[in-house]
């Protein structure tokens, strides 16, 4: 029996995910290859997703957000990611920067900044530095207290969405450790530039710019939460954004699966449809089982975030599995489509490049495994009385 939903059932309320699937198919997919080719930030599309309420969908309604759950947000981002992972990462950097303010910011900062997200604010999350990627226990970007607030100096590298960002969340080191700051892009002393490392082969939504902060003066409440707690804030925020990143990888896997399936169902070889060869069917059967399983753990991670359960483990598991799976399915799609799979006019190269880049961006596979292992050790070595 054929399903109106195609191969992939909605795993959240259909009223939430169906509009995103339609928008992805009608508005995003037709321009997705062009965004990738041009490597530019899709300003217009991001304004349209804001108008749909998706840029601020999990923010509390008192700040103009949609008050939606992480599970619902995953339902939307999976659909948009299936059409364009580049659009997906635009929304992830917006989400990540607003989430950390929502979770840890002072009330005055939240009231000042969060409603702007609902109005379509473009934002970036600036953590990485030239010499520091996975290891962010200390940073070369420094923030010093002044009589009126803070002054920041340093340089951030590889900032996704940085070419179009109007607002930035910046991690910097103060006297007592890594801390997080909310910064308007037009604050005096901030410039961006592109190094030769700014262009990536995947997740292309504009150059990953370097961000220079030169004597940037900020008010007292630009500090997000407690000074010196930036690492803990980053870990919790990353658990949220990693779960949505898993959704983008699932979207890539689904898109590669769907478009390859359509092609092999039409193509003939040796007087048979390519899909009628058992060797080809098994590729799809295995990919279908693995996509279904990765979707389940990803939606579980989103529910764990909503319910405040052991989300560090499940969100890392979700991103680890979904990212690797997207690369595997995109590679399979190239294989079963033969020469067509390799052609630049076909979308499979884009899927493969985006999928591989997401095995590194937002938490590499190795760092995710470290997080999972740490949670296992914490859980397994806690005495029964402590559990
Ligand atoms: C497409 C893309 C977009 C990005 N966007 C942003 C952004 O918007 N903002 C931002 O701040 N950063 C961004 N980054 C940077 C990203 O966060 C870092 O690339 C990532 O944290 C890895 O750091 P690194 O590249 O310096 O690798 P390194 O830290 O140099 O690591 C090199 C290798 O060693 C592994 N490794 C490192 N430590 C360990 C360990 N303890 N155990 C086992 N293996 C380990 C890593 O997994 C990796 O395979 C982006 C990266 C990419 C690819």
Ligand 1 centroid, distance to 88 Cα (angstroms): 19
Between the CA of 198 and the centroid of ligand 1 the distance, in Å, is 14
Buried/exposed 260-273: b ≥16 CB within 10 Å, e otherwise: bbebbeebeeeeee
Q: In 3D, which of 232, 240, 384 has the Cα closest to residue 314? A: 240
The Cα 147–Cα 153 span in angstroms is 17
Q: If you search the block for the tokens 């067509």, which residue do you land on?
A: 340
Burial class (CB in 10 A: 0-12, 13-18, 19+), 3: exposed
Beta-carbon contacts of residue 77 (< 8 Å; ≥ 6 apart): 88, 91, 92, 244, 247, 248, 251
pLDDT of residue 3: 73
Number of the ligand 1 atom closest to the C-alpha atom of 135:
29
Encoding tokens for residue 51? Answer: 């108008």
Residue ID of nearest Cα to ligand 1 atom 7: 159
| Mean pLDDT across 305-324 | 96
Domains and CATH numbers, the chain: 14-118 (1.10.540.10), 123-228 (2.40.110.10), 231-380 (1.20.140.10)
Q: What is the per-residue pLDDT across 272-299, written as a single tens digit (0 to 9) for each?
A: 999 999 999 999 999 999 999 999 999 9
Q: How much is the average pLDDT of 238-252?
A: 97
Say how far apart CA 300 and CA 243 lie, in whole Å.
10
Gap between the Cα atoms of 109 and 104, Å rounded: 10
Contact 67, 60 (CB under 8 A): yes
What percentage of residues in the chain have a pLDDT greater than 90?
93
Give me the mean pLDDT over the 197-210 stretch.
95
Centroid of ligand 1 to alpha carbon of 235 (angstroms)? 14
Q: How confident is the model at residue 124 (pLDDT cuts 50, 70, 90)?
A: very high
Residues framing ligand 1 (Cβ under 6 A): 93, 124-128, 133-134, 158-160, 200, 203, 208, 357, 360-361, 364, 366-367, 370
Taking the CA atoms of 196, 202, 205 and 210 in sequence, report the sign of the dihedral they define: negative
- pLDDT given for residue 2 in this prediction: 64
Helix (H, G, I), strand (E, B) or coil at 359: coil
Average pLDDT score, the chain:
95
Q: Please report the pLDDT score of residue 387 as a whole number.
A: 44
Average pLDDT (209-237) is 96
**Overall pTM > 0.85:** yes
- 364, 365, 373, 374: which to mutate for ligand 1, most atoms within 8 A of CB? 364
Q: Quote the pLDDT of residue 201.
A: 97
* pLDDT one-digit tens code per residue, 38-64: 999 999 999 999 999 999 999 999 999
The average pLDDT across 329-343 equals 98
- If you search the block for the tokens 């399903």, which residue do you land on? 3
Confidence tier at 135 by pLDDT (50, 70, 90): confident
Whether residue 330 has pLDDT greater than 50: yes
């Amino acid at each position: 029996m054929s399903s109106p939903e195609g191969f992939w059932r909605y795993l959240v309320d259909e009223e939430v995910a169906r509009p995103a699937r339609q928008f992805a198919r009608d508005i995003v997919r037709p321009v997705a290859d062009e965004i990738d080719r041009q490597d530019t930030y899709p300003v217009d599309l991001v304004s349209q997703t804001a108008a749909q309420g998706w840029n601020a969908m999990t923010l509390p309604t008192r700040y103009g957000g949609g008050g939606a759950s992480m599970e619902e947000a995953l339902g939307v981002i999976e659909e948009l990611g299936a059409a364009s992972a580049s659009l997906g990462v635009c929304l992830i950097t917006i989400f990540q920067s607003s989430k950390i303010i929502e979770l840890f910011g002072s009330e005055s900062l939240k009231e000042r900044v969060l409603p702007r997200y609902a109005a379509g604010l473009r934002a970036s999350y600036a953590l990485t530095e030239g010499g520091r990627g996975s290891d962010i226990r200390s940073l070369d970007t420094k923030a010093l207290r002044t009589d009126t607030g803070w002054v920041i100096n340093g340089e951030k590298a590889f900032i996704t969405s940085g070419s179009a960002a109007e607002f930035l969340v910046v991690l910097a080191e103060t006297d007592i450790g890594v801390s997080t700051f909310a910064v308007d892009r037009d604050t005096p002393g901030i410039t961006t530039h592109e190094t030769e490392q700014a262009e990536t082969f995947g997740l292309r939504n504009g150059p990953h710019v370097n961000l220079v902060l030169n004597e940037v003066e900020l008010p007292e409440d630009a500090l997000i939460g407690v000074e010196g707690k930036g690492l803990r804030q980053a870990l919790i925020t990353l658990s949220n954004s990693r779960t949505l990143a898993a959704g983008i990888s699932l979207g890539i896997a689904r898109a590669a699966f769907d478009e390859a399936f359509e092609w092999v169902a039409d193509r003939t070889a040796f007087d048979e449809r390519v899909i009628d060869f058992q060797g080809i069917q098994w590729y799809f059967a295995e990919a279908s089982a693995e996509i279904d399983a990765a979707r389940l753990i990803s939606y579980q991670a989103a529910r764990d975030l909503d319910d405040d359960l052991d989300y560090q483990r499940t969100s890392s598991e979700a991103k680890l599995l979904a990212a690797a799976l997207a690369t595997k399915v995109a590679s399979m799609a190239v294989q079963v489509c033969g020469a067509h799979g390799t052609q630049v006019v076909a979308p499979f190269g884009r899927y493969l490049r985006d999928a591989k880049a997401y095995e590194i961006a937002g938490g590499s596979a190795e760092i995710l495994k470290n997080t999972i292992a740490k949670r296992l050790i914490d859980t397994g070595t806690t005495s029964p009385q402590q559990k």
